[in-house]
Structure 1
Amino acid sequence: MRESHTPALASLDAYANVTDLLARRATEAPAHVAFEVPPASGDEWRPISTAAFLAEVRALAKGMIAAGLAAGEAVAIMAPTRYEWAVADLATWFAGGVVVPVYETSSASQVIAIAADARVRLAIGGTAVHGELLRAALTDALGIWLMDAGSGIPSLDDLVARGRGVSDDELEYRRTRAGHDDPATIVYTSGTTGEPKGAVLTHANFLGQVLNIAAAYREVVHAGGNTIIFLPLAHVLARGLQLICIASGMRIAHLADPARVVPTLAVLQPTFLVVVPRVLQKIQAAADDKAAAKGLTRVWDRARATAITAGRVAERRDAGTPPRVPFGHRVRHALFDALFYRRLRAVMGGRVDYMLSGGATLDGELSLFFRGLGVPVIEGYGLTETTAPLTGNLPGRIVSGTVGLPLPGSTVRISDQGEVLARGVGVFAGYRDDRHDDDAFVDGFFRTGDLGRLDEGGRLVLEGRLKDVVTTSNGKTVVPARWEGAVEADPLVQHAVVVGDDRPYLSALLILDAEQAAGWAASTGVELDVRTPASLRPVDEPRLVARLQRVVDEANTLVARSEQVRRFTLVLADLDDRDLVTPTMKIKRREVLTRAADTIETLYRGAAS
């Protein structure tokens, strides 16, 4: 199959622009709790109704208008994930502006480049640090305001105060001016293989995604549920999810500190979570470690295997061919549920019905494991240029190892070269710089740069990045994604990078997860320096190398002989370095190859060409 399409489920005709999503919801259910905001002290989270949120949005939008923001002008938001981000996002649209999200971890040069390219006129920062970065980047702007007060830079309260003279009629005129084809946001891509590009997403792109996804996932996103958003709100996936929740009445809580996520799950008990595969790997690894500490490794291994089998049974049931489940399996599952599974669900809050995984390929067995625990994982796929999700598995139709069917209103095509092409309601019209459009489209489809195939049911299976292929000196072209993904499934490995262009065989750099490596060292009595290095630093610890040699050997069994890795080196890196790792934690392969040139040479020393 070379093309798969899913018809749209929703019409955009009744909506002028994105602001109608909030305006309608506030009319339908003004008293419904839309957000839960963390307390300054204590444990009680403060509920905020839809009407109260709308009032804050309107007040801030009036302040932007009073400050001189014109319709169509850009507003930069640079802050960690928090409630005020949501207020600023919607307020910009109510004022007729265009949102330019800036990752809070962006360097000064990145902030300057984005502000200049987008012609930012007004900026909102989270802290004084963000304020200083924005002030240095904006030489000709209306002003900078902060979510945190008391730093000498005006706060959002000051901006709200400026807008008290703006009439409701003027605000409504501004709110309703933008149409479907007008820009809603300019999102700068992470740039794993080149310079960041400003993707212009329209109001129709957001409306198409929000309305169609909400219609397809009613079991997941609904007024009786709640979620915690801990992804960066500068990422289009988090903002898209937020709009879907606002429109559907699902309560939202925001968290920026990863250390607070697990304790907060127990307090707020979400029904739905969006995660990256690494989070699921760490949950499973923590369970492995806890079982080992109690001398229950053999029992836990059987529990894991039983959960994976239960996941397969559930998927076959979804497909309409339920297998006969032996009585012994049902007994084991009930026993392990009492011993292990229930406790793992409690770690996640005890009420999670579904999790959505994106950002990287999810290992099939890991997906089956969580399904067997009773927490189905919906894997999806998308890009900034597709306004987040393009494909996704659906409740009751999850197939592990795939990223699902095209979402309603979308079409996926596979080119002759195996590249995934996209067209649909969420697919953008082009980049801010027309030069970046030259190779971005073919026959009306956006070129994703990802390699994939469609299974017999029309579901997409990802197979790597087009620009990440490795060509050896023997002329063999290798797509390393499967091997890298298998190695990255081990909690000790944060990133695996296969190298071998113009070399006689493949090698790899395994970038360690410092936290997991420190835990391994402590449990095995090994002294290991895991301090963050200034650059990539090789790690030569024989027992750790031996531990990961087994992982490499197992990954080699999954690929053809010509795709197997012969040698590897362990390295530590500064994973907060935005020149090395994107804000969405994707490794910049070219930068790795440049920085690790000497280390890579050692992997080929003495090799025959």
Structure 2
Amino acid sequence: MIESSTPPLAALDGYRNVTDLLVARAAAAPDHVAFEVHDPDAGSWRPITTREFSNEVRALAKGFMARGIRAGDPIAIMAPTRYEWAVADLASWFAGAVVVPIYETSSASQVNAIVADAGVRLAIGGTAEHAALLQKALAQTTGDTLGAWTMDIATPSALIDLVSAGVDVTDEALEARRTSASQDDPATIVYTSGTTGAPKGVVLTHRNFLGQVLNIAAAYREIVNEDGNTVIFLPLAHVLARGLQLICLASGMRIAHLSDPSTVVATLDTLRPTFLVVVPRVLQKIQAAAAAKAADKGLSGVWAQARSTAIAWGRRAERMDAGRRVSKKLGLNLRHRLFDALFFGRLRTVMGGRVGYILSGGAALDAELSLFFRGIGVPVIEGYGLTETTAPLTGNLPGNISSGSVGTPLPGLTVRISDEGEVLARGVGVFAGYRNAAHDEDAFVDGFFRTGDLGRLDEQGRLILEGRLKDVIVTSNGKTIVPTRWESAVEASPLVSHAVMVGEGKPYLSALLVLDPEETRAWATAEGIIIAQSAPSDIRAVTDPTLRAHLQKTIDAANALVARSEQVRRFSVVFADLEDRALVTPTMKLKRSVVLDRAAVTVEDLYL
């Protein structure tokens, strides 16, 4: 199969732009709790109804208008994930503006480049420091700018000052501005994180957002509804988190925000979400933490059996979903009941006790990890998408999950596989082009967007990803290698944050294993050894023999999964600064070209 499509489930008639989603929800359920906002002074979570949220959005939108924002003006938002981000986002659209999100971890040069390229007129920072960066960037432009403001109340130029400035703007003037944008007008300009090159400004329209929100909400009604709640801790500067927020808002699903991902697990017991969106690394760490606790109690062997049982249970559940006959093995049932009491129930409690589904995206999810969580009673729905597709392009569905695939095209979308194996996309969520038209030259073919990813479609039209087109390695022997499967297998180790296969033009394959500092520190403590965790800019090898021997087992297991020509002969273990945004994107993807440049000496040592 070379093409797979799913017809739309929702019509866009009756919606002029994204703001209609909030208007419709506020009219239908004004007193329904839309958000939970943390009150640090009280140490509790305060409910915010849809009416209250709508009122805050309208008040800030009037402030934007009073300050001088015109229809179509770009407003930048640079802040951690928090409730005020949602208010500013919707308020910008109510004022007829175009939102330009900037990751809170962006460097001054990145902020300057985005502000200048997008033509930002007004900017909002989460803190005074963010606002200062934005103000400096605005000062370097030649446009008529309106200053930078902050979400923190106890600072000068706070958003509350904008709200006060807008009290004289009439409801009629706001309504005229709110409805000024049509479906085909730009809603946001999102700058890609640049894993394979310079960031590009992706222009997404109101139609893109409406199409995705309404169709995905219809497809996942079992999960996203007004009886559920979620915690958003992914960066709201990323289109996935913003899309999720709009879907929840339009569907009545309660939202809580967390700016620090490290506090998520501790908060789940309080918020008790029914649904979570995570990256695979979060799931790996949950599983690794359970294994470590079992080891502390001398139960490593028992845990290994429990893990195998969960995977077998998950595999059986998927076969049943597919309508295939399965044997009802008494032994598996008994083992699952035993391990549910020992381990699985406790893991569900760690996640709050109410999580019905987890959505995983942003990177490849190991099939066995997916089966494991299915086996403990928390199915993982893996999806796939890009900024250019307004987040999800494909996704598994409740009752039709296939581990190892990223599912079928979502409603209103089409996936095609080119003769070269590249994944191509067309449909309601796919953007029309970049802000810089020069970037469009190689971006489309026959009306389809070129994702740059390699993949194939199975008999049911499900997409199986097989790597990045630009990451393909050609050895000196002429062998073409796609490193994704091997790298994903190695990254399943808790100690390995990133695996990078190398070997372009070389006689054999090697690899760099970038360590996870936190996990490595815990492992070293348990082993009674000390590993220096410096992170030099040129990335040099860690030579501890005990660590290398431990990771050799991971290398051997990954090699067993691939053909002989795809196996890695030598590897180096390295530390790197995973907070360095020149090296790692805000969505925690490694910039391969930067790694290879900084680790040039280490890589050359692998071929001596």
TM-score normalised according to structure 2 size: 0.99
Residue in 1 that maps onto 2:276: 273
The CA distance in 2 between the partners of 1:497 and 1:527, in whole Å, is: 25
Alignment equivalent of 2:572, drawn from 557, 563, 569: 569
Alignment equivalent of 1:144, drawn from 125, 142, 148: 148
Alignment equivalent of 1:328, drawn from 318, 328, 331: 331
The CA distance in 2 between the partners of 1:485 and 1:368, in whole Å, is: 16
1:332 deviation in Å? 1.1
Residue in 2 that maps onto 1:82: 82
Superposition pairs of residues 192-207 of structure 1, within 5 angstroms: 192-207=195-210
User: Equivalent pairs: percent with the same residue?
Assistant: 71
The answer to whether 1:501 aligns with 2:497 is no
Counterpart AA for 2:149: W
The answer to whether 1:180 aligns with 2:170 is no
The CA distance in 1 between the partners of 2:15 and 2:327, in whole Å, is: 49
Counterpart AA for 1:131: A
SS at match of 1:385: helix
The answer to whether 1:128 aligns with 2:132 is no
Alignment equivalent of 1:536, drawn from 536, 539, 554: 539
1:322 deviation in Å? 3.8
Which whole-Å deviations, capped at 9, do the CAs of 1:362-386 have from their partners, x for residues lacking one? Answer: 0000000000000000000000000
Residue in 1 that maps onto 2:73: 73
Counterpart AA for 1:90: L
The CA distance in 2 between the partners of 1:401 and 1:89, in whole Å, is: 35
Which whole-Å deviations, capped at 9, do the CAs of 1:276-322 have from their partners, x for residues lacking one? Answer: 00000000000010000000111111111111011011101100124
Residue in 2 that maps onto 1:400: 403
Alpha carbons 2:132, 2:148 under 8 Å: kept = no
Which whole-Å deviations, capped at 9, do the CAs of 1:135-190 have from their partners, x for residues lacking one? Answer: 11002411111001334x30000010110110000000000010010000000001
Alpha carbons 1:313, 1:322 under 8 Å: kept = no
SS at match of 2:167: helix
Superposition pairs of residues 175-574 of structure 1, within 5 angstroms: 175-574=178-577
The CA distance in 1 between the partners of 2:325 and 2:30, in whole Å, is: 44
Q: How large is the RMSD of aligned CA atoms in angstroms?
A: 0.8
The CA distance in 2 between the partners of 1:369 and 1:597, in whole Å, is: 38
Residue in 1 that maps onto 2:54: 54
Alpha carbons 1:214, 1:244 under 8 Å: kept = yes
List gaps (5 residues or longer) in structure 2: none
Alpha carbons 1:418, 1:453 under 8 Å: kept = yes
The CA distance in 2 between the partners of 1:597 and 1:339, in whole Å, is: 48
SS at match of 1:150: coil
1:477 deviation in Å? 1.1
Counterpart AA for 2:261: P
SS at match of 2:338: helix
Alpha carbons 1:95, 1:175 under 8 Å: kept = yes
Which whole-Å deviations, capped at 9, do the CAs of 1:427-466 have from their partners, x for residues lacking one? Answer: 0000000000000000000000000000111000000000
List gaps (5 residues or longer) in structure 1: none
Residue in 2 that maps onto 1:589: 592
Residue in 1 that maps onto 2:15: 15
1:242 deviation in Å? 0.2
The CA distance in 1 between the partners of 2:245 and 2:412, in whole Å, is: 20
Alpha carbons 1:8, 1:409 under 8 Å: kept = yes
1:68 deviation in Å? 0.3
Q: Which moved more, 1:549-558 or 1:407-416?
A: 549-558
Residue in 1 that maps onto 2:33: 33
Which whole-Å deviations, capped at 9, do the CAs of 1:49-83 have from their partners, x for residues lacking one? Answer: 00000000000000000000010010000000000
The CA distance in 2 between the partners of 1:30 and 1:256, in whole Å, is: 27
The CA distance in 1 between the partners of 2:263 and 2:566, in whole Å, is: 41
Shift >3 Å, 4+ stretches: 531-535
Give the aligned length: 604
Counterpart AA for 2:146: L
The CA distance in 2 between the partners of 1:56 and 1:154, in whole Å, is: 17
Superposition pairs of residues 165-176 of structure 1, within 5 angstroms: 165-176=168-179
1:509 deviation in Å? 0.5
1:17 deviation in Å? 0.3
Residue in 2 that maps onto 1:24: 24
1:475 deviation in Å? 1.2
The CA distance in 1 between the partners of 2:271 and 2:458, in whole Å, is: 38
The CA distance in 2 between the partners of 1:474 and 1:369, in whole Å, is: 39
Counterpart AA for 2:98: V
Residue in 2 that maps onto 1:6: 6
1:534 deviation in Å? 4.2
Which whole-Å deviations, capped at 9, do the CAs of 1:243-298 have from their partners, x for residues lacking one? Answer: 00000000000001122111110001000000000000000000010000000111
The CA distance in 2 between the partners of 1:536 and 1:214, in whole Å, is: 44
The CA distance in 2 between the partners of 1:582 and 1:180, in whole Å, is: 31
Alpha carbons 2:98, 2:187 under 8 Å: kept = yes
Q: Which moved more, 1:375-384 or 1:333-342?
A: 333-342
Counterpart AA for 1:248: S
Counterpart AA for 2:573: L
Superposition pairs of residues 106-121 of structure 1, within 5 angstroms: 106-121=106-121
Alpha carbons 1:98, 1:183 under 8 Å: kept = yes
Q: Which moved more, 1:353-362 or 1:469-478?
A: 469-478
Alpha carbons 1:517, 1:530 under 8 Å: kept = no
Alpha carbons 1:535, 1:574 under 8 Å: kept = no
The CA distance in 2 between the partners of 1:343 and 1:120, in whole Å, is: 49
Alpha carbons 2:383, 2:406 under 8 Å: kept = yes
1:533 deviation in Å? 3.8
Q: Which moved more, 1:459-468 or 1:253-262?
A: 253-262
SS at match of 1:486: helix
Alpha carbons 2:35, 2:49 under 8 Å: kept = yes
Alpha carbons 2:115, 2:138 under 8 Å: kept = yes
The CA distance in 2 between the partners of 1:522 and 1:580, in whole Å, is: 28
Which whole-Å deviations, capped at 9, do the CAs of 1:193-239 have from their partners, x for residues lacking one? Answer: 10000000000000000000000000110000000000000000000
Counterpart AA for 2:47: P
The CA distance in 2 between the partners of 1:147 and 1:533, in whole Å, is: 35
Counterpart AA for 2:392: P
1:329 deviation in Å? 1.2
Q: Which moved more, 1:496-505 or 1:194-203?
A: 496-505
SS at match of 2:579: coil
Alpha carbons 2:537, 2:598 under 8 Å: kept = no
Alpha carbons 2:34, 2:48 under 8 Å: kept = yes
The CA distance in 1 between the partners of 2:537 and 2:600, in whole Å, is: 16
Alpha carbons 2:294, 2:303 under 8 Å: kept = yes
The CA distance in 1 between the partners of 2:535 and 2:122, in whole Å, is: 36
The CA distance in 2 between the partners of 1:588 and 1:326, in whole Å, is: 46
